[in-house]
Amino acid sequence: MDVFGPFLPLLWSPELMIRTSAMGDYLRYQSAFPPHLSEFIILVASRLWSQQYEWSLHSPIALKAGVDPEIVDAIAQGRRPAPMSEEQEILYDFSTELIESGSVSDNTYYRALAKFGEKGIVDAAGITGYYTFLAMILNTARTSPEPGGPLLPPNPPVRTDGLTDPSLV
């Protein structure tokens, strides 16, 4: 296994690194979502955590997987992308609500359930949570972005309640 990015600080806890790697392999390559949707979720989590390493690595992967460059740019800017596919709208709401409030609204839950099923809900929460975990590790360890990779602009303005204020972006 190559050791890079989040796995460098995870070396300080080898057992956690091994288990984290196994979960990541499942979530990226075997989840309920094709690459363009799993990478979309990863970008949303990366932006919400202002995680430069994840962004520098995954935004090119997302583009290669078919995520529209305008959507990638909107996420980078901290804006809700428009237009999005129905799947992207649901996953954007799901991941954003989950990170910002620790749960999802009934409306978002039932939209996700109808579109992706129970496995999809668990996998969407898993991808969001996994990349939140990695963002926390990377931010704590002050891991540098990929050399030459794209960077997120500075944090978007936020309201006092912690939610992004679209009128300020």
Q: What is the pTM of this model?
A: 0.88
Domain 7-154 part of CATH 1.20.1290.10: yes
Q: Which residue has the higher pLDDT, 7 or 100?
A: 100
Find where tokens 């690595």 sit. 57
CA 159 to chain CA centroid, Å, is 21
Helix, strand, coil proportions of the chain in percent (round to 5)? 65, 0, 35
pLDDT tens-digit series, residues 25-55: 999 999 999 999 999 999 999 999 999 999 9
What's the mean pLDDT when you consider all of the chain? Answer: 90
Domain residue extents for the chain: 7-154
Convert the pLDDT of each residue in 118-134 to its tens digit. Answer: 999 999 999 999 999 99
Residue of 134, 144, 165 whose CA lies nearest to 49: 134
